[in-house]
A and B are shown apart, each in its own frame.
Chain A
């Protein structure tokens, strides 16, 4: 190889190696990008609004059926169910309901509910004023609790959606209790759990 050739090769190798390192970083950048992407497209039904609602008028011309579903992963021993399986609301109307949870084990546990909305198109219109899923839920051995959910459906909900399913998966966080976790919150920045 001539000297000039060697120089060229060296420059090329540095560039290619930089590209490889940059792509390694890009792999990690996909994590926040994915959240942004989900928010824009409504992927995964997670881009619902949280916090105080600014809905003024109630649309009494139609009702929307809200179904509640609860899921326990295999390793989660809690009893967890909605008090009402399904309810009908007017868009714009505040509605409160509750979920029942009981810790049947002999030790103290902490759980976190993770919500998801189907169809995902409806997710931005389901506004949660207050939800037990905003916080971790500790329970003493054998204790039970009613966990409130206050929500309102935005009257701008597209006409063709007549049923919204709100699903909660309940995860055991007892072991991770000492680690601080954050879940990105679309409206209020970060909610520390």
Chain B
């Protein structure tokens, strides 16, 4: 606090008039500005994306050839675990929260988030959560090595000592997510400009509203399940210990009750982003706006009754298998509605293919491939063959990398001119897109084949017949990984230089965020705009 007092006289005049940000490090530590906090979330997410990406490259380097070349099997397991945890909780989720911070107040015509101080806090506890998690890599016994799904008793009885740090890390990131979600709901429900009724909100806002409810519903369950682990490990309870009357299968049920809504938390905001970008570059209104909203809501509701499709092989009664199989397949219906609407929006539109649109188009195609392999996995009798193979790895990487990650990149390219005030360098953007697109497919498509042929996931070594496809996937992974350096270059260059962007930026862009100048001033919509 002392720094603030010292700084105050210098910035007093500026402060009083609310013209701009404070100076120095204090600006970032004490800021309550949604744009600053949004930027911090996005930068944090990018750092985590790079760390998680390095882990992915260690995994792929080891798997380039059969046999053990580079790392110990235990370290390999730590890499798969940490890669998953960091990408899910450190890269994808904070990126969406960052986009929400930046864009939701501007899209609904609010001056800031509803709870600016909590906003600051929910960001600033996040780096500590990941510091705790990452520090476990340097502890005796190593980092968590039980997979990102941390099934008990592997994560309790047989876990490395560092599991306690993992548990506290999860608690903190869970608290951060819940606070972020409360803030987003309060902003959307209470801070909309006059005239912006619920069914006039941009789809990014809608999808985030629903996502925030999912977060509030399931992040506490995650906190609960890791608390039960903590009690089993340190306080002699037996939630997941069969010897004491507990049940390890119970862990899987509670985990996936959180886990399945969690995967939709990582994809629903992506749906919103794509629904913003495609109409802009098709120069048409979004086809079927209301059906889009209802589709997202029904996907969110269905996500609570499908969790056991992750555990078809635990020995469920037949009725259970059939129920979870059909409930899962039902999700294909609203998802199909969304894909149909995106395609129908483009139908007979005046399409142009700027970088954000390319990422959005790749999203539609590649996410649909991931959706189809998801349908294959949903078939209970067939799942007994696919379960825990590389086919599952291929499936969820198709929905998460060219799904969630591509949508985040599309959103970054789409809104970057609004944030920085500089037009995109289209050439560099397209180089990044094509390298990523080719890299992603070379990496993950062959995994379908080795998975169907029976290669198990989470192994550092494999049978000879999988060698060719694995080396192919490794080459693709390095292409994809290193092409992200182009992304970082593009972002930094855009912040520094570039042609001056207009307020509207993109010819076909609609919505309140495009009515403020580029770069967006530090304070926007201090007086609410009128929406008609």
Contacts and interface: CB of A to CB of B under 8 A. Distances in A.
Interface stretch (A17-25, A84-92, A149-157): A17-25
A43 interface: yes
Given A23-B221, A30-B254, A43 B216 contact: no
Contacts of B239: 31
Interface residues of A, number: 42
B238 A181 contact: yes
B190 A5 contact: yes
Contacts of B185: 12, 16
A44 interface: yes
B315 interface: yes
Interface stretch (A52-60, A96-104, A169-177): A169-177
A41 B253 CA distance: 15
B224 interface: yes
Interface in A155-193: 169, 171-173, 176, 179, 181-184, 193
B519 interface: no
B299 interface: no
Contact of B178 (A20, A30, A171): A20
Interface string A1-42: 100010011001100110111111111101100100000011
Contacts of A169: 242
Contacts of B257: 27, 30
Most buried by A among B243, B317, B320: B243
A112 interface: yes
Contacts of B224: 24-28, 30
A121 interface: yes
Interface stretch (B34-42, B244-252, B324-332, B477-485): B244-252
B198 interface: no
Given A16-B216, A42-B317, A30 B253 contact: yes
A161 to B, nearest CB: 13
Contact of B191 (A1, A30, A120, A193): A1
A176 B232 CA distance: 12
Nearest to A10: B186
A48 to B, nearest CB: 15
A92 B279 CA distance: 71
**Binding site secondary structure of chain A:** helix
A26 B221 contact: yes
A182 B245 contact: yes
A99 B376 CA distance: 44
Given A9-B114, A23-B218, A183-B245, A34 B253 contact: yes
Given A23-B220, A27-B220, A183-B245, A16 B317 contact: no
Interface residues of B, number: 40
A173 B191 contact: no
Contacts of B216: 16, 19-20, 23
Nearest to A181: B244
B225 A34 contact: no
Contacts of A179: 236
A114 interface: yes
B151 to A, nearest CB: 16
Interface in B307-356: 315-317, 319-320
Contacts, number: 107
Most buried by A among B181, B250, B316: B250
Most buried by B among A43, A120, A173: A43
B244 to A, nearest CB: 5
Contacts of A43: 316-317, 320
Nearest to B218: A23
B218 A44 contact: no
Interface string B168-183: 0000000000100110
B115 interface: yes
Nearest to A30: B254
Interface in B105-122: 114-115
A43 B316 CA distance: 6
Interface in B224-278: 224-225, 228, 236, 238-239, 242-245, 247, 249-250, 253-254, 257-258
A27 B243 contact: no
Given A43-B316, A43-B320, A16 B186 contact: yes
B526 to A, nearest CB: 11
A172 B320 contact: no
A176 B217 CA distance: 35
Contacts of A118: 315
Interface string A104-137: 0000000010100010110000000000000000
Contact of B220 (A8, A24, A172): A24
A24 B223 contact: yes
B113 to A, nearest CB: 10
A85 B217 CA distance: 48
Contacts of A41: 317, 319-320
A16 B190 contact: no
A176 B190 contact: no
A41 B322 CA distance: 13
A61 to B, nearest CB: 27
A50 B216 CA distance: 42
Contacts of B249: 44
A171 B320 contact: no
11 contacts: A9-B115, A12-B189, A16-B186, A19-B216, A24-B220, A27-B224, A30-B224, A118-B315, A169-B242, A173-B243, A179-B236
Given A41-B319, A43-B316, 17 more contacts: A9-B115, A12-B190, A16-B216, A17-B182, A23-B218, A23-B221, A26-B224, A30-B254, A31-B254, A34-B253, A41-B317, A45-B315, A114-B242, A169-B242, A176-B236, A184-B245, A193-B245
6 interchain residue pairs of minimum CB distance? A27-B224, A171-B243, A183-B245, A24-B220, A23-B220, A27-B221
